[in-house]
A and B are shown apart, each in its own frame.
Chain A
Amino acid sequence: MICTAAPGKRSLALALLAAASLLAGCAAGVTSSGPGPTPITVVVSGPSTDRLGMTAQFTAAVTGTSNTGVIWQVNGVTNGSASTGAISTAGLYTAPSAMPSPTAVTITAVSKASASSAGSLTLNLQNPFPTISGATATQAGSSLNYAVDIIGSGFVPGSIINAGGTAQTTTYVSATELQATVAVASGTTSINLSVTNPNPGGSTSATTKVSITFYTTTATAAARLLDQATFGPTMTDIQHVQQVGLSGYLQEQFAQPTTPLASIPTSPLPAVCLSANNPTVCEESEWWTTAIRGPDQLRQRVAFALSEMFVVSTQGNSGASIPQFHNALANDAFGNFSKIMKDVALSPAMGGYLNMLNSAVAAAGQIPNENFARENMQLFTIGTAMLNQDGTPQLDGSGNPIQPYTETQIQAFAKAYTGWTYATSTGASPTKFPNKTVNFDYPMAAVESAHDTTSKALLNGTVLPAGQTAEQDLDGALGNIFNHTNVGPFVCKQLIQHLVTSTPSPAYVTRVAAVFANNGSGVRGDMKAVLTAILTDQEARAGDTNASYDGGHLREPILFLTAMIRGLGFTNTDVNGSFYSLSNQSVKLGEEPYRANSVFNFFPPSYVIPDSTINAPEFGIENTATATLRQSLADTIVSNKISGFTVDLSATSALGTQAATPATLVTTLSTLLMHSQMPSNMQTAIISAITPLTSNAQRVRVALYLVITSSQYKIIH
């Protein structure tokens, strides 16, 4: 390294200087050119490179005068400038934040003793070192593309994000933020990220590893499926479904074993029952607990739907009869529909409710009890009119509906169902009829002496021959109904209405009914295939990508409450662990588990909204009175006043901390409760309503209330 300052050879010295300063650490000086005995010389020393935004210290050696002060300049400007860098009176240079052009600047020290005496040095500016302090990778929709966002320092226009060592098209946001969209290979679980700054002074940051989650499914599709197939979405479940996909989730749920309702012990009842002698309190607590906490969400949700089709009620039945009945529905939810029919028929709950229990062969002067015989066809399987496979009624030549069975046929079925009573404590047939020892834990058992053994003329020309046993007649009768062409469209339409939409198109019903008729392997009544067809149908999924797709159904009060408890994360605080207090809330709105007013459920499947032609069953309990009561229930929820439960909606809760930014809170509520599809005008209205509130807890309460009382939320769509 050579540094030269030769008096009298200025031009040469400058040329040398220029060459030398490409190297580091030189000092350079220039003599004054004036005549005189003692020439004043200024020699500047300092680094030859500096990075943007960094400082560099320069010194000036002045000889030939006692006044050694200098004035510092950058590119001839005293004290420098923002674009070329500033220099202090002490020679401390601060590089600019952006690269000037040209990229080299001249640092000059001018003698205060002689303005004509100065020394200079060329300083080459370089880009800063990039550093990464944090990075996120967010999946775009359900694709393999991730939006990478890097936070750090030292970024410049031209900085490049490297993902796995490969340069990406990079968007410069600021000196502290860069973005890029990174495509990953299927199965990728993390991305190694670094940032390279360009020349001059090009360099690459250390590598940061960011984990990525591959979601096969959008949050919207995941949340919509969860509203259709469970007792309400949670953030955890939404993310899980996003990962495993809709069909993956259904497969998981089909594999989940039943969470059974515990049978109610004989009195005195345990503490969780809250009452020593009312088994209904205990049974309802069990039901809520299972619905809310059971991992077999789809199974329990389908069992709930089935319980609103095959209706039994503790207004008439002991609550102790419910667990065996409910567990049969849950166990059979993914089995065959014919099994559901038989298990329902033989359950002591249905037996007691519609009087097949202890229905004996009629004595002279009596008729056999028609109750179950009629409703099993009218309400559970066939309906009151012959149906097309699309669920619409067939019409005769005069345009009238066609009755599928006669009063005489109902009486024949009534005879076929005679002879059943409570089983013994081991589930066997008792010796006498009726058996008055109550047994709710086993299916009913037959006593042949009480069975009507005459022949019975059933539907479609089927005749049960005389002399059959009670079970042979039961199987024959239920099989005769199961094979009736109405059952597919009748049952499938109602399942669709309970799970997905009040208003399925005839084509949707047809598609599902076809699966009911044949699962593809020649099996009729395969519930797993039927449920898959219902939940994956194009009409069920259209709303995943079209927020204004017209469909859906009213969130009935029980599902409203379970969605709140699950979604908001209420925890049980009852000293006995009872969930019964939820019944005290839902009953105000006309629903209490297994406690409908009649066999026609809480609302009739045929209900048409007044002043419209829309068949929407749940609206059978939606009116000006219950709409108001639901608002009061929402107030109870957001005020954390559900007895026996608690939820943290305070300023320090997860939602409370988000409430500092109203838009953030509203976005979260949209994701959790409204399938990430809250309309923008609704978002704006809620943000406007809560922004003036200074307490974040108030913001949470008001925003939540507005969401859950909105018709947009009440209608699951």
Chain B
Amino acid sequence: MRIQRRGFIKYASLAAAGNLAGLRPFGALNALAQGTDYKALVCVFLFGGNDANNMLVPYDTAGYANYAALRTAGGSSIALPQASLLPLTPLPNYALHPNLPDVQTLFNSGTAALVANVGTLIQPLTRTQYLAGTKAPANLFSHPDQQEEWQNASQDGAVATGWAGRVSDLLTGTYNASATIPMVTSVDGDTLFCNGVSTTPVSVSPGNVGGASCSVGSECTARQTAAQSLITFNSGISLVTADDKITSNAYNYSAVLTAATKSVTPLKTVFPTGNPLASQLQQIAQIIQVRAALGVQRQIFFCGVGNFDTHAGQLNLQASLLAQVSPALAAFYAATQEMGVQNQVTSFTMSDFARTFQPNSNTGTDHAWGSHHIVMGGAVNGGKMYGTFPTLALGGPDDSGSNGRWVPTTGSVQYAATLAQWFGVPANQLATVFPNIGSFASNNLGFV
């Protein structure tokens, strides 16, 4: 269901009335919002294919030794030293990458969970079935294809929608009927994840929710009025029409977000600086903060960080990236605590794929398949690993070939369906959003 302009007008007049009455504009609305039903999902996409094999590492003696041996070859190694790994109290046989101390803390306190060997699948698949030619997702090991299949939840064949967009199609009418912005917000540009059939996302650049700048005050009104009239002309050029639509939405959403955030007191939570992912999550936190003013009861956010395509010099590169992810996630969770919505906001990672367990000749790794992921939030049944950790053996029972590209034992669609059910998609409508969920034994992994 599309956001109706009627909704915008309704909101605008309400805010104006508040101002005229001399009320603090959003105090009243925030009060109304207390106790209301609100939930948010936050997708953190690790672009490029995070080497989860070095994110979650066997920690027991035999497991670590096997890991280290296979990741060492030709006189070089991409194995992390055992002493550097961060142990997990509830999961003693596994440990985290040394630059994920905040995730360690969140996991140990039961606020974060790990899901092992998740990947794109059309249906459950074994190594034997894969090698025998049973249907597998299209264009495995290709970045754009695998990103899209994670985002569209592994439907059979290319589709033009993502699962957040389809959840929005389904639930906007139920939860966000009077919302003034779409259910889905991206703070990291255009991405398939956010696009529905009947709903499109709002994009926000971090730290800049407002409208365009206007340098000469005396010209602004005339300029703005005329500019908004120009987008109403029918040109007959398809792309002009498409861009007019985006521009029209931009005018509406920036007005709404400007009004909603204008007089809000900034959160006290300190986000790391010089950390683009943290800036994105901070922007998400600010929008959650004004949820009542926006009239939203359900929101899905998309943010991301890139450069995980570590074909060479992996140890340093991945370390620097995870060093951004860890404190950014911690700050965001702290912000949800500050707002008192930590049990209503669930964050989760996605990524193109994992990387070959076998190192390449440049102390890097190549494109692979099944991967491990992090889920975080007060509603998460944390401190546990879900799914099945793969057997780390080249050509072993979980290898799709001989280089350590794990055949996923959990489908990314199961991962998505679990999150979507917590968010509010009824079990009997799951197939609307996830058409091939019925091919899997479980549609809820239980981590949230």
> Does chain A bind chain B?
yes
What B residues does A608 contact at CB under 8 A?
Answer: 160
Closest to B312 in A: A355
State in angstroms the CA–CA spacing of A546 and B367 once bound together. Answer: 48
A364→B240 contact, CB < 8 A: no
B203→A711 contact, CB < 8 A: no
A206 within 8 A of B: no
Closest to B402 in A: A367
A631→B212 contact, CB < 8 A: yes
A625 touches which one: B48, B204, B359 (CB < 8 A)?
B204
* Stretch binding the partner chain, chosen from B81-89, B96-104, B140-148, B432-440: B140-148
Closest to B230 in A: A710
Chain A 349-377 residues near chain B, CB threshold 8 A: 354-355, 358-371, 374
What B residues does A619 contact at CB under 8 A?
Answer: 190, 239, 242-243
A66 within 8 A of B: no
B247 touches which one: A363, A552, A627, A698 (CB < 8 A)?
A627
What B residues does A614 contact at CB under 8 A?
Answer: 238-239, 242
Closest to B209 in A: A625
Closest to B141 in A: A407
State in angstroms the CA–CA spacing of A710 and B190 once bound together. Answer: 21
Closest to B139 in A: A384
* Stretch binding the partner chain, chosen from A106-114, A237-245, A461-469, A699-707: A699-707
B230 touches which one: A363, A682, A690 (CB < 8 A)?
A682
What A residues does B202 contact at CB under 8 A?
Answer: 624
Question: Could you tell me the distance in whole angstroms from the C-beta of B86 to the nearest C-beta in chain A?
Answer: 27
Report A533-570 CB contacts with B as 1/0, cut-off 8 Å.
00000000000000010111110000000000000000
State in angstroms the CA–CA spacing of A686 and B204 once bound together. Answer: 29
What B residues does A418 contact at CB under 8 A?
Answer: 361
Asked, given contacts A550-B236, A628-B211, A641-B215, whether A689 binds B226 with beta carbons under 8 Å apart, the answer is yes
Asked, given contacts A369-B364, A685-B226, A689-B223, whether A548 binds B239 with beta carbons under 8 Å apart, the answer is no
State in angstroms the CA–CA spacing of A293 and B400 once bound together. Answer: 53
Q: Which of B73, B233, B238 has its CB near the most chain A CB atoms (within 10 A)? A: B238
Chain B 127-182 residues near chain A, CB threshold 8 A: 138-139, 141-145, 160, 165
Question: Could you tell me the distance in whole angstroms from the C-beta of A397 to the nearest C-beta in chain B?
Answer: 15
B203→A623 contact, CB < 8 A: yes
Chain B 229-263 residues near chain A, CB threshold 8 A: 229-231, 233, 235-247, 249-250, 253-254
State in angstroms the CA–CA spacing of A85 and B26 once bound together. Answer: 83
A384→B360 contact, CB < 8 A: no
Chain A 590-632 residues near chain B, CB threshold 8 A: 590, 597-600, 604, 606-614, 616, 619-629, 631-632
Chain B 257-313 residues near chain A, CB threshold 8 A: 306-307, 309, 311-312
Asked, given contacts A362-B360, A712-B235, whether A632 binds B229 with beta carbons under 8 Å apart, the answer is no
B75 within 8 A of A: yes
What A residues does B306 contact at CB under 8 A?
Answer: 597-598
State in angstroms the CA–CA spacing of A710 and B307 once bound together. Answer: 35
A360 touches which one: B142, B250, B361 (CB < 8 A)?
B361
A366 touches which one: B201, B249, B311, B358 (CB < 8 A)?
B358
B240→A712 contact, CB < 8 A: yes
Q: Contact size class for A?
A: 35 or more
Interface residue tally for chain B (C-beta within 8 Å): 80
A316 within 8 A of B: yes
Closest to A690 in B: B222
Report B201-225 CB contacts with A as 1/0, cut-off 8 Å.
1111100101111111011001101
B35 within 8 A of A: no
B72→A365 contact, CB < 8 A: yes
A365→B138 contact, CB < 8 A: no
What B residues does A316 contact at CB under 8 A?
Answer: 307
What B residues does A681 contact at CB under 8 A?
Answer: 233
Closest to B194 in A: A610
A715 within 8 A of B: yes
A635 within 8 A of B: yes
A401 within 8 A of B: yes
Closest to A622 in B: B246
A262 within 8 A of B: no
B28 within 8 A of A: no
What A residues does B51 contact at CB under 8 A?
Answer: none
B401 within 8 A of A: yes
B366 within 8 A of A: yes
Closest to A600 in B: B144
B190→A620 contact, CB < 8 A: yes
A688→B226 contact, CB < 8 A: yes
Q: Which of B141, B198, B250, B361 has its CB near the most chain A CB atoms (within 10 A)? A: B361
What B residues does A628 contact at CB under 8 A?
Answer: 208, 210-212, 250, 254
B235→A548 contact, CB < 8 A: yes
Question: Could you tell me the distance in whole angstroms from the C-beta of A79 to the nearest C-beta in chain B?
Answer: 56
A368 touches which one: B195, B254, B360 (CB < 8 A)?
B360
Report B347-373 CB contacts with A as 1/0, cut-off 8 Å.
000000000101111101011000000
Question: Could you tell me the distance in whole angstroms from the C-beta of B62 to the nearest C-beta in chain A?
Answer: 19
B74 touches which one: A362, A403, A606, A712 (CB < 8 A)?
A362
B227 within 8 A of A: yes
Q: Which of A365, A367, A608 has its CB near the most chain B CB atoms (within 10 A)? A: A367
What B residues does A692 contact at CB under 8 A?
Answer: 222
State in angstroms the CA–CA spacing of A364 and B74 once bound together. Answer: 6
A598→B309 contact, CB < 8 A: yes
B356→A374 contact, CB < 8 A: no
B144 touches which one: A369, A554, A606, A715 (CB < 8 A)?
A606
B47 within 8 A of A: yes
A675 within 8 A of B: no
Asked, given contacts A362-B361, A369-B364, A621-B190, whether A702 binds B233 with beta carbons under 8 Å apart, the answer is no
A378 within 8 A of B: yes
State in angstroms the CA–CA spacing of A705 and B219 once bound together. Answer: 11
Question: Could you tell me the distance in whole angstroms from the C-beta of B210 to the nearest C-beta in chain A?
Answer: 8
Q: Which of B70, B74, B226 has its CB near the most chain A CB atoms (within 10 A)? A: B226
What A residues does B222 contact at CB under 8 A?
Answer: 689-690, 692-693, 702
A367→B403 contact, CB < 8 A: yes
A717 within 8 A of B: yes
What A residues does B7 contact at CB under 8 A?
Answer: none
Asked, given contacts A679-B233, A714-B243, whether A626 binds B160 with beta carbons under 8 Å apart, the answer is no
B340 within 8 A of A: no
Question: Could you tell me the distance in whole angstroms from the C-beta of A405 to the nearest C-beta in chain B?
Answer: 11
B143→A548 contact, CB < 8 A: no
A503 within 8 A of B: yes
Chain B 299-338 residues near chain A, CB threshold 8 A: 306-307, 309, 311-312
Asked, given contacts A606-B144, A681-B233, whether A358 binds B226 with beta carbons under 8 Å apart, the answer is no
What B residues does A378 contact at CB under 8 A?
Answer: 142
State in angstroms the CA–CA spacing of A361 and B234 once bound together. Answer: 60
What A residues does B253 contact at CB under 8 A?
Answer: 624
A701→B361 contact, CB < 8 A: no
A176 within 8 A of B: no
A502 within 8 A of B: yes
State in angstroms the CA–CA spacing of A639 and B219 once bound together. Answer: 11
What B residues does A315 contact at CB under 8 A?
Answer: 307
A424 within 8 A of B: no
A367→B356 contact, CB < 8 A: yes
Question: Could you tell me the distance in whole angstroms from the C-beta of A607 to the nearest C-beta in chain B?
Answer: 7
State in angstroms the CA–CA spacing of A685 and B225 once bound together. Answer: 10
Asked, given contacts A366-B74, A625-B204, whether A355 binds B223 with beta carbons under 8 Å apart, the answer is no
B50 within 8 A of A: no
State in angstroms the CA–CA spacing of A703 and B69 once bound together. Answer: 68
A717→B240 contact, CB < 8 A: yes
Report B177-194 CB contacts with A as 1/0, cut-off 8 Å.
000000000100110001
Question: Could you tell me the distance in whole angstroms from the C-beta of B49 to the nearest C-beta in chain A?
Answer: 11
B239 touches which one: A370, A616, A636, A639 (CB < 8 A)?
A616
- Interface pairs (7), CB distance under 8 Å: A367-B358, A610-B190, A611-B200, A622-B243, A623-B203, A690-B222, A711-B247
Further pairs besides A362-B360, A702-B223, A712-B235: 8, Cβ < 8 Å: A369-B312, A371-B366, A502-B239, A552-B239, A622-B190, A625-B205, A641-B215, A715-B240
**Which 5 interchain pairs have the tightest Cβ spacing?**
A363-B74, A365-B73, A631-B212, A623-B203, A689-B226
